C-alpha cells in the first residue's frame, strides 16, 4: 500500500465526499417514519474500514457527519448530535468486530451490529437528553427492527462493492495485519 | 456476493433478530384486561371499583343520577341525565384506558388495568 501522506489524505477526502453525497441525497428522500432511514453512507464507512483501516474510517466518518450537517444546515442541532453519536457507536462496534473480518464475518456481519449500535446509541441519547419521556422506549422495538433491515441492506450493498476486483485487491486481512 | 458470506454472519443476524423480537415482546406484550373502574367527579376524590363481579352503582351529580353497570372485566354507563346520550354511547368499557364521560354530571368513567395502554402514538 502506498504510504504517501498526501495521497492518503486525498483518498480520505474523496471517500468522505462520496459519503457526504450519499447522506445528502438520502436526506432528500421522504421517510414515512421520523428516525428511520437507510444509512447508505455507512456503506462507505464499511468499505473504508476494511480497505484502509480503522483510523481512516474514523476520519471519513467525522468528515461525513460534519460535512453533511454543514450542507443540510443541521450543524450542532439535535440531529447533528444524534448523527455523531450513532456514527461513533457504530464505529466502536466495527472496531471491535474488525478482527473477525473476513474469515468469520463478511461485510453483512459487520453492518448489522453497526446498524443496531447506531440505533441504540441514538435512542439512548434521545431518551437521556432530548426527549426524556418515560414511555419513549415503546419506540425502540420498531427502530431496532428498522436498524436490522437497513443493516442487512447496507451489508449486502457493501459486500457487492467489496466483491468488485478493483476494490477487492485493497481489502486487508485484519487477522494477520495490524489495522489503523 | 454469496461466496463472501461467513458462518459468523448467520450468528450475528440470528442474535440481532433475537434482540429485535425480545424488544417487541417486552415493549408490546398485551397488558391484560381491565381490573378496575375509576369514577372521577368534579370536586370529589376519584373512586375505584373492582371489575370482578356484577354490580350496579349510582352516582349523583348536579344534573341527576348516572347509573353504572359493572360486569366481570368491563363496565358501562347505563343511564345518564345528559340529553345527547354521549355517556351511554361510549358502550362497554373493556380495554384499559377506555372511558365514558357525562358532562352534565361532571363525571368521567375510566377502566384501567395493571398497566396503562396508549390510545395512539404521535410524533
pLDDT for the residue numbered B28:
82
In which domain, by residue range, is B47 found? 36-112
DSSP label of B4: G
> Looking at beta carbons, which residues of chain A come within 8 Å of B11?
109
Percent of chain B predicted with pLDDT > 70: 90
Residue B122 resides in a domain:
no
Residue A74 CB contacts under 8 Å (≥ 6 apart), including other chains: A80, A83
pLDDT tens digits, A100-155 = 988 899 999 999 999 999 999 999 999 999 888 887 888 899 999 999 999 999 99
Residue B18 resides in a domain:
no
Sheet strand arrangement including B64-71: B55-61, B64-71, B74-79
Residue B2 resides in a domain:
no
Residue B54 resides in a domain:
yes
Q: How many interchain CB pairs under 8 A, A with B? A: 69
A109 and B12: CB-CB below 8 Å? yes
> Looking at beta carbons, which residues of chain A come within 8 Å of B13?
108-109, 112, 148, 152
- All three cell numbers of B22, joined, read 425480545
Give chain A's end-to-end CA distance (angstroms, integer): 13
pLDDT for the residue numbered B97:
84
Minimal Cβ distance to B27: which of A100, A109, A137: A137
Architecture label for domain A5-168: Orthogonal Bundle (1.10)
Mean pLDDT of chain A: 90
Percent of chain B predicted with pLDDT > 90: 49
Neighbours of A122 (CB within 10 A): 23
pLDDT over 70 at A177, yes or no = no
CB A50 within 8 A of CB A35: no
Mean pLDDT (whole number) for B16-31: 88
CB B86 within 8 A of CB B99: no
Mean pLDDT (whole number) for A44-57: 94
For CA atoms B50, B51, B54, B59, the dihedral sign is: positive
Lowest mean pLDDT among A7-16, A145-154, B2-11: B2-11
Query: What is the count of structural domains for chain B?
Result: 1
How, if at all, do strands B74-79 and B47-50 pair?
A: unpaired
Amino acid at each position: 500500500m502506498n504510504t504517501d501522506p498526501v495521497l492518503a489524505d486525498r483518498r480520505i477526502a474523496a471517500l468522505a465526499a462520496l459519503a457526504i453525497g450519499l447522506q445528502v441525497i438520502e436526506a432528500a428522500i421522504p421517510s414515512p417514519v421520523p428516525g428511520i432511514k437507510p444509512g447508505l453512507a455507512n456503506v462507505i464507512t464499511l468499505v473504508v474500514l476494511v480497505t484502509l483501516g480503522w483510523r481512516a474510517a474514523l476520519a471519513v466518518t467525522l468528515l461525513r457527519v460534519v460535512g453533511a450537517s454543514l450542507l443540510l444546515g443541521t450543524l450542532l442541532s439535535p440531529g447533528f448530535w444524534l448523527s455523531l453519536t450513532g456514527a461513533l457507536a457504530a464505529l466502536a462496534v466495527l472496531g471491535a468486530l474488525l478482527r473477525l473480518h473476513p474469515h468469520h464475518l463478511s461485510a453483512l456481519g459487520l453492518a448489522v451490529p453497526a446498524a443496531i449500535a447506531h440505533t441504540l446509541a441514538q435512542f439512548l441519547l434521545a431518551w437521556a437528553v432530548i426527549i426524556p419521556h418515560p414511555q419513549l422506549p415503546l419506540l425502540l422495538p420498531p427502530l431496532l427492527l428498522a436498524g436490522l433491515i437497513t443493516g442487512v441492506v447496507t451489508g449486502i450493498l457493501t459486500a457487492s462493492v467489496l466483491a468488485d476486483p478493483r476494490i477487492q485487491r485493497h481489502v486487508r486481512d485484519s487477522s494477520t495485519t495490524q489495522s489503523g | 456476493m454469496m461466496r463472501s458470506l461467513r458462518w459468523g454472519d448467520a450468528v450475528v443476524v440470528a442474535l440481532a433478530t433475537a434482540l429485535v423480537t425480545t424488544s417487541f415482546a417486552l415493549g408490546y406484550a398485551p397488558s391484560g384486561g381491565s381490573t378496575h373502574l375509576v369514577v372521577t367527579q368534579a370536586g370529589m376524590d376519584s373512586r375505584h371499583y373492582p371489575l370482578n363481579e356484577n354490580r350496579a352503582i349510582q352516582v349523583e351529580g348536579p344534573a341527576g343520577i348516572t347509573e353504572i353497570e359493572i360486569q366481570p372485566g368491563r363496565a358501562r354507563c347505563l343511564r345518564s341525565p345528559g340529553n345527547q346520550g354521549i355517556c351511554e354511547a361510549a358502550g362497554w368499557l373493556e380495554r384499559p384506558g377506555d372511558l365514558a364521560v357525562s358532562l352534565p354530571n361532571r363525571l368521567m368513567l375510566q377502566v384501567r388495568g395493571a398497566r396503562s395502554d396508549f390510545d395512539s402514538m404521535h410524533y
